[in-house]
Structure 1
Amino acid sequence: MHTPPTWDPHQYLRHSGHRTRPFDDLLARIPALPATGRAARIADLGCGPGNVTARLADRWPDALITGFDNSREMLSEARRYAGPTPGGGHLDFRPADAAHWTPDRAYDLIVSNAALQWVPGHPDAFPRWVDALPRGGVLAFQVPGNFTSPSHALLGELCDSPPWRDRLAGLGRRFVHVLAPADYLERLMALGCAVDVWETTYVQVLEGQDPVLDWVKGTALRPVLTALRDDPHATEEFLAEYRDLLRKAYPAGPYGTPFPFRRIFAVARRVDG
């Protein structure tokens, strides 16, 4: 069994503009939350460094918003956003693993941004999450859908290759945790929700030296970097091999390096209950 990945919030935030854009697109499709006569309660699962959690307070300024994450490093960074919000709401952050999280209260919105791909079997949690929503409450999430793209396919092949398989086998293959868009639609409609599911491919233009490698250092490479963290020579060797593969797969152009990135979105509003 491999050690859970160690996260680096500063590396993750190096591409914060590109990483935030899908959340903004998700947020734009979330309908008005139910009128309950109290401040809206919002949970952000896998809140990471808290930068997108704080954006929820822009949309719902008087809401009580809690970000949950299982990374101490990410929560440490996120807590700089904690406290009262200008609109009279409040932001706080708590440790929790989305794989086992069960709502301890009713929430008007449960949202997750680029986190559920790390949670095997996460659709099995949908019933208990939807059950915590009032009528009109919303479950909304987006996950990467690019796990068969060169960046991830090459990483999986390299991890499973003879020189590395004893230490890294399986660490580059995460696509099995994400369903097809139609499967998310079916699962959520079966729970009594009105569902909006879509996908978008962003053709991101990354800048700098080996920018695709720099991008995946914040996400897909975290399990590998964690497994090799006590062996700097092996880390350097692996990164050099992977870098060369990425340079061929994503050649730099005169204005940067194009990096297509597919995302899957779902917004489910509870209509029964």
Structure 2
Amino acid sequence: MLDWNPALYTRFEDERTRPAAELLSRVPLAEAARVVDLGCGPGNSTELLARRFPQADVLGIDNSEAMLVSARKRLPQARFELGDIGRWTPAAAPDLIYANAALQWVPDHKTLIPRLFAALAPGGALAIQMPDNRAEPTHRLMRDVASEAPWKAAIGDADKLRTELLSIGGYYDLLARDAAHVDVWHTVYQHPMASAAAIVEWVSSTGLKPFVDPLDAELKASYLATYEHRVAQAYPPRADGRLLLAFPRMFIVARKA
């Protein structure tokens, strides 16, 4: 997959930062010495962590150099490192491992989540938020269009382009035996959007990338035109002319004994 685009990602920064803040608000730590932001992106979530724990050593990890350049400009007092968050292991046990809208790109959660939890310092917390929108029209239509000619040959198996999440009970079960406390919940955000094109722009910086990155310019243009047409059909205008984009997200906070 081609590198991420910080400028495109931050066009909807307020909407993307809201669940990050709500996840952090449920972290049951009064203080922390070491904090890690897995999949830190352009640093919007890392900034929240630095404000909440001003004395902490805050480290952001991301596999996109473009995102890290943006994050370093935004938050020069924090540390940022290029790395694969699926294989990351800490040099010293963190008090908080925080992953906002990142782990949905990493496979094998049945191994990954317990491993991250085990890496915490005693009394530490693992905090995770992931989009849970594979069944929403935005993401179902991505796969539908990708399964058709002429795009199918270039894109491949659309069902394998993002990790399939466990149920919320499944994540609870992964952590409950070893945790002092596990908090899991769902929130469905409702985002008023100006048009179908705005919805396509929203997903272009995240979920749509694996579908369009393999396409040449001509195929990409035709894919996006077809996708936008179907998005317009799936999201009818509301009373004010805007389209209401439902965006389910899953939250998990586990405290170590």
TM-score of the two chains, using structure 1 as the length reference: 0.88
Structure 2 residue ranges without an equivalent (≥5): none
2:148 aligned with 1:158: no
Once the two structures are TM-superposed, the CA of residue 256 in structure 1 deviates from its matched residue by 1.8
Aligned counterpart, 1:269: 255
What is the SS of the residue equivalent to 1:201?
A: strand
- What amino acid does structure 2 have at the position aligned with 1:20? T
Once the two structures are TM-superposed, the CA of residue 211 in structure 1 deviates from its matched residue by 1.4
Once the two structures are TM-superposed, the CA of residue 129 in structure 1 deviates from its matched residue by 1.9
Q: Does the CA-based 8 Å contact 1:118-1:177 persist in structure 2?
A: no
Alignment counterpart, residue 224 of structure 2, candidates 221, 233, 239:
239
2:10 aligned with 1:10: no
Number of equivalences? 256
Q: How far apart in 1 are the matches of 2:42 and 2:212?
A: 19
Once the two structures are TM-superposed, the CA of residue 102 in structure 1 deviates from its matched residue by 1.3
2:245 aligned with 1:259: yes
Residue by residue, what CA displacement relative to the aligned partner does 1:193-212 show, whole Å, maximum 9, x if unpaired? Answer: 41000001011112256211
Aligned pairs for 1:162-241 (under 5 A) are 162-171=149-158, 174=161, 176-208=163-195, 210-228=197-215, 231-241=216-226
Aligned counterpart, 2:61: 68
- What amino acid does structure 2 have at the position aligned with 1:9? P
Q: How far apart in 2 are the matches of 1:172 and 1:206?
A: 27
Alignment counterpart, residue 87 of structure 2, candidates 89, 95, 100:
100
Q: Does the CA-based 8 Å contact 1:33-1:108 persist in structure 2?
A: no
TM-score of the two chains, using structure 2 as the length reference: 0.94
Greater shift, 115-124 or 195-204, is seen at: 115-124
Structure 1 residues 18 and 99: CA distance shift in structure 2, 3 A: same
Once the two structures are TM-superposed, the CA of residue 255 in structure 1 deviates from its matched residue by 4.6
- What amino acid does structure 1 have at the position aligned with 2:242? G
Alignment counterpart, residue 42 of structure 2, candidates 49, 62, 71:
49
Q: Does the CA-based 8 Å contact 2:114-2:174 persist in structure 1?
A: no
Aligned counterpart, 2:235: 250
Q: How far apart in 1 are the matches of 2:113 and 2:80?
A: 22
What is the percentage of aligned positions where both structures have the same residue? 39
Residue by residue, what CA displacement relative to the aligned partner does 1:231-260 show, whole Å, maximum 9, x if unpaired? Answer: 211111111000100000012332521000
Q: How far apart in 2 are the matches of 1:52 and 1:192?
A: 24
- What amino acid does structure 2 have at the position aligned with 1:146? N
Structure 1 residues 227 and 135: CA distance shift in structure 2, 3 A: same
Once the two structures are TM-superposed, the CA of residue 163 in structure 1 deviates from its matched residue by 2.1
Q: How far apart in 1 are the matches of 2:127 and 2:29?
A: 13
- What amino acid does structure 2 have at the position aligned with 1:100? R
Superposition RMSD in Å: 1.7
